[in-house]
Every structure is written in C-alpha cells, then in structure tokens.
Amino acid sequence: MTESLTLITPTGDRPLAFALCQNWIKKQTLQPEQWIVIDDGKIPTKSFTSMEYVRREPQPNDPNHTLIENLKVAIPLIKGSKIIIIEDDDYYAPEYIEEMAHRLNQREVVGIGKSKYYHLPSGGYFRTKNMMHASLAQTAFKSSFLLEFGGLLKKIYVYLDINIWKKVKERGGGFLFVDSDMKPLYLGMKGLPGRAGIGIGHDPNHRIYRSHPCDKSRKILKNWIPENDDYNIYTDIISGKLTERNYQSCLKT
C-alpha cells in the first residue's frame, strides 16, 4: 500500500448536498490521490473524473440506513495509507484534509471532539462537550487500523463512531483535538434536502437545540463558516436561490 491519501464518501439521493461536497473537496489545500464515492441512491449520482465512483444498487434487504453497507464496499478499494471519512452533507473548510493528514503522522486514528452542528433551515445550532469520541464525519485513520475498522463493519451498531473510538482506546493509538473558532475546520450541517440522515441533529425540534435561540441573523453560521464564498452558498440555500433543481448551474461542479 503506497504512501497516499484516500477519502471515502457514502452517498445516495442527496444531489444538492453531494454537489456541495464536491465543491469543498475541490477547494482543499491538500488533494487526495483517491476519492472513493459509494452511491446507493434510487437515482444514481452524477460522477466526475476526480473520484472513483462505485454504484451499489439498492437491495430489498437493505437496512433503513445503509452507511455500513456502503463502507463495506469501499474497504477493498482503498489504496492509501491514510483514510479520511468525508460525509456528503457536512462542511469541510479548505484546510481540513491537510490538517487531518498532518495529525495522522503522529497517531493511528485522529478525530475532532466537541463537534459543532447546525440545522440550516431553522438556524438551530449546538456544540457538544464530548471529548470521548469524534463523529464518523470527523474521523481519519491509518491503513494499520483497517482490519479493526472492517471488523466493526461486520457487526451491527447503531452508532459506528462510538464503537470505533472504543476500539481506538483499547489500542491506545488515537488522538482527539478541537478545532478553533478562529479557524474552524468543519461543520456538521443538518437539514439539507435529500435522504434523511441517522443523526438526531436532523430533527429541528430535538431538545439539543433548545439551549440556544435560533440563529435567525446567521451570525453563528458566519462564525463557523468564515469564508465568504462558502457562507454565501449556504445563505443561497436558505433564501431559496440554490435548490435541488438548479444546483448544477449555480455550483462549479
């Protein structure tokens, strides 16, 4: 296995979210040698030459959420020595991949704690205090962890990320860090159109949002996505200027 970088993105029936995901990857200061995209949507996603697109046809016995099934397909295709999970509906700042790859020089598994989440339609937001594990969307690992990772996929877990970090603690090779509000690296974005996600943050009425008033002014969104071009894309979605119908003409995909 060569010294290179592999991204893995499971997706399906989220055309606008995935178009944004492509935009964030194109802007990265460090580009991957391999980007594996596993698509099991009812309508196939448009693929591009910059990715290794794999179509997994929906199966009658698929679970409601097929994240693990898609990851199983990706495992045998991995070529890189550093693997980063990129979820299709989250925001990744331009320095995200470079920072995660740098952290992997010192540790086998790395992730970002105290996760930030934002519900785009309502303006609900919260930041966790959790430093026990990172979400899957902010987790990266070396190829030396692939055997353990693949083993976890063979079991049925409600939350894969929690069990990854339990295994990491057993091995003693993990590291969690917190990205600074002065230089945010990511944002867990909720409420984008398309197939629903498994996380509780997709429900705008969940109690996690009740600790803050809704961000009607979008000041919090701007603090967490300080790059104007990126922030403006999300405000265009809020205003209805950017939709699932016209995203191809508005985004340079």
| DSSP class per residue in 24-43 | HHHT-SS--SEEEEEE--SS
In this prediction, residue 247 has a pLDDT band, given cuts at 50, 70 and 90, of: confident
CATH of 5-250, picked from 3.10.20.30, 3.90.550.10, 1.20.810.10, 3.90.1210.10, is 3.90.550.10
pTM over 0.85: yes
What's at 1, amino acid-wise?
M
Of the CA atoms within 13 Å of residue 216, those in its CB half-sphere come to: 1
The closest alpha carbon to 183, from 4, 6, 19, 29, belongs to 29
In this prediction, residue 252 has a pLDDT band, given cuts at 50, 70 and 90, of: low
Report the share of the chain in percent with pLDDT over 70: 95
Please give the average per-residue pLDDT across 63-81, as a whole number. Answer: 93
Close Cβ partners of 249 (under 8 Å, ≥ 6 residues apart): none
Q: How far apart are CA 211 and CA 216, in angstroms?
A: 15
| DSSP class per residue in 185-217 | -EEEEE--SSSPPSSGGG-TTSGGGGGS---TT
- The answer to whether the beta carbons of residues 156 and 168 sit under 8 Å apart is no
The closest alpha carbon to 109, from 163, 177, 173, belongs to 173
Q: For position 211, what pLDDT does the model report?
A: 84
Q: How far apart are CA 131 and CA 90, in angstroms?
A: 20
Task: Sheet containing 52-55: give its strands across.
Answer: 52-55, 34-39, 5-11, 82-85, 139-142, 109-112, 174-177
Q: Count the neighbouring beta carbons within 10 Å of the beta carbon of residue 217.
A: 9
In this prediction, residue 40 has a pLDDT band, given cuts at 50, 70 and 90, of: very high
Q: How far apart are CA 72 and CA 38, in angstroms?
A: 10
Q: How far apart are CA 193 and CA 223, in angstroms?
A: 23
